[in-house]
Amino acid sequence: MTQKTISLPEDVYNALKKQKRKGESFSELISRLLHEKHARERNLEKLAGSLKEDDEWDRILEDIYEDRKKPARFKGE
């Protein structure tokens, strides 16, 4: 397999280093991050058009924000 060398600013290198798992190479890390990003994008594409009406999502958000305004209930109340 062909290898390439890339230069990274120190802040980017440090951010990647924090994401790296024990025993994982930087190549494996970058491959994993790209795969995870691609998987998230595919999942979003599957959801596209799943709501029948455009304003359905707005109603869902409204309900969420209204629920957040209510005082929290604790078990046994």
Domain limits of the chain?
A: 11-69
Predicted confidence at residue 75, as pLDDT, reads 65
Chain segment 27-46, per-residue pLDDT in tens = 999 999 888 887 777 776 67
H or E stretch at 19: helix 10-19
Contacts of 8 (CB under 8 A, 6+ apart): 16
Q: List, for residues 42-65, the tens digit of each pLDDT value.
A: 776 677 666 666 677 788 888 888
Residue 29: exposure state from Cβ atoms within 10 A (0-12, 13-18, ≥19):
middle
